[in-house]
């Protein structure tokens, strides 16, 4: 990723070319290239209308610069890409024409086959954008197609082939699936926020839990849990590839830095509680605050559901523990004016039962068909269905 900028006045977007000058999306002159620092800044100005939410342009640029200092993205682990044409004239400042743009983040991941677990490098794709003046010419499709091939070797060690990459579609199921990214289950449930009185009434009959700070979270063996889960799942279905992103401290830090920036911007209290844990079992829920453009859509997102592999509690006991964790999340949502409450992606059955225990009724599972569609491109030469374990919000970028 280009270096952090050092200018106070946000730049303006490059002037759009006349469409008569533009090649079509299949033109041989089109190339996918890493953006320079100036070009990366231009892509942020261009995409700010889509991705800045309620932030103005200076605040949006500050947030993106802030995120580049995270352990997940620094030291070259984040890359800005542009689709340009070798035949188009440069801009007045020497930058290349940006026909489409995106970013990728390098993440630690696992893949298991025939019971053998391998630690790999995978990439999450984000901030996909094509300026409105250039849409309808196939640029985004060309960029993503070229990127899929590029990521098979990008930042891989010893000439190995990258196993998979992921993205989260906000434009439905068809566009990215045609380019090789299969849509995976993209379900969620929501629970309303609750008052302190409501919390106290229900908490007294549930197991006790305590808040998790980031320091507490970093001490949990979450990566080991995932390694065990992936390996055990592979042993049960040895011929089916099993994949997961490693729930590292760096990946959670990135999410927390987003929410902390926005809580400061909104003059809200610093978000100390990053989740809650049942100390006797180690069962935990990790969350982050999600601030959408419309306050009615603000919610507390479950990032990761933690069930240590050595837990021997029966399901009914686990249900009560998760009910207590979800209840604490509902109270936290109220404290930060999360009008949509608590949202849990792809909840396992034990969490769904816990939600219904709290709600005292069936909880509707919502299938997303437009936004945040979990999508995975499998690069290996296998035709089997790939199982994506840990398909939770922590993997989103």
Distance separating alpha carbons of residues 59 and 307, to the nearest angstrom: 38
Q: Give the torsion sign (CA, 311, 312, 313, 315).
A: positive
**For residue 393, which of 331, 330, 303 has the smallest C-alpha distance?**
303
- Report the SS3 class of residue 51: helix
315-335 helix and 349-359 helix, angle to the nearest 10 degrees: 60
- The pLDDT of residue 383: 59
Which pLDDT score, from 0 to 100, does residue 13 have? 85
Is 96 in a helix, a strand, or coil?
coil
Task: Please give the distance of CA 179 from its chain centroid, rounded to a whole number.
Answer: 20
Q: Rounded to an integer, what is the distance from CA 67 to the centroid of its chain? A: 13
CA–CA gap between residue 344 and residue 336 (Å, rounded):
17
Q: Phi then psi for 217, rounded to 5 degrees? A: -60, -40
pLDDT for the residue numbered 380: 76
Q: What is the pLDDT of residue 160?
A: 84
SS (H, E, C) 242-262: EEEECCCHHHHHHHHHHHHHH
Task: Name residues of the chain where pLDDT drops below 50.
Answer: 1-8
Q: What is the pLDDT of residue 4?
A: 44
Cβ-contact 263, 269 below 8 angstroms: yes
pLDDT digits (tens, 9 = 90+) for 354-390: 999 999 999 999 999 999 999 999 987 655 689 999 9
Q: From 397, 380, 238, select the one nearest 303 (Cα to Cα).
A: 397
Give the Å distances, CA to CA, from 197 to 191, 237, 274, 330, 331.
Answer: 17, 47, 22, 12, 10
Report residue 152: phi and psi, to 5°. -65, -25
Is residue 155 within 8 A of residue 106, CB to CB? The reply is: yes
Please state the separation of Cα 45 from the chain's center in Å.
Answer: 21
Number of H helices, E strands in the chain: 10, 16
């Amino acid at each position: 990723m280009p270096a952090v900028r050092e200018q106070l006045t946000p730049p303006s977007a490059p002037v759009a070319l006349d469409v008569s000058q533009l090649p079509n999306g299949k033109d041989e002159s089109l190339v996918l290239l890493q953006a320079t620092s100036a070009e990366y800044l231009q892509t942020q100005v261009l995409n700010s209308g889509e991705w800045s939410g309620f932030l103005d342009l200076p605040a949006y640029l500050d947030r993106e610069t802030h995120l580049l200092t995270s352990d997940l993205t620094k030291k070259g682990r984040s890359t800005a890409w542009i689709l340009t044409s070798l035949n188009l004239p440069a801009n007045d400042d020497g930058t290349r024409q940006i026909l489409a743009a995106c970013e990728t983040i390098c993440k630690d991941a696992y893949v298991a086959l025939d019971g053998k677990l391998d630690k790999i490098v995978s990439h999450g794709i984000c901030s996909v954008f094509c300026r409105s003046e250039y849409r309808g010419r196939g640029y985004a499709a060309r960029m993503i197609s070229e990127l899929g091939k590029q990521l098979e070797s990008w930042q891989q060690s010893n000439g190995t082939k990258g196993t998979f990459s992921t993205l989260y579609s906000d434009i439905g199921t068809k566009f990215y699936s045609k380019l090789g990214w299969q849509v995976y289950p993209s379900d969620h449930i929501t629970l309303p926020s609750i008052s302190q009185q409501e919390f106290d009434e229900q908490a007294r009959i549930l197991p006790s839990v305590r808040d998790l700070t980031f320091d507490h979270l970093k001490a949990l063996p979450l990566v080991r849990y995932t390694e065990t889960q992936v390996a055990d799942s592979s042993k049960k279905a040895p011929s089916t590839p099993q994949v997961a992103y490693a729930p590292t401290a760096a990946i959670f830090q990135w999410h927390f830095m987003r929410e902390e920036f926005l809580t400061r911007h909104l003059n809200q209290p610093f978000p100390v509680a990053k989740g809650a844990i049942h100390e006797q079992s180690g069962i935990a829920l990790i969350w982050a605050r999600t601030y959408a453009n419309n306050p009615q859509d603000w919610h507390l997102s479950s990032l990761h559901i933690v069930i240590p592999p050595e837990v021997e509690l029966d399901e009914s006991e686990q249900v009560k523990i998760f009910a207590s964790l979800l209840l604490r999340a509902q109270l936290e949502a109220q404290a930060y004016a999360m009008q949509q409450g608590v949202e849990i992606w792809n909840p396992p059955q034990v969490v769904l039962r816990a939600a219904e225990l709290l709600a005292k009724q069936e909880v509707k599972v919502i299938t997303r068909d437009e936004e945040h569609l979990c999508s995975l491109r499998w690069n290996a030469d296998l035709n089997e269905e790939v199982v994506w374990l840990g398909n939770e919000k922590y993997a989103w970028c």
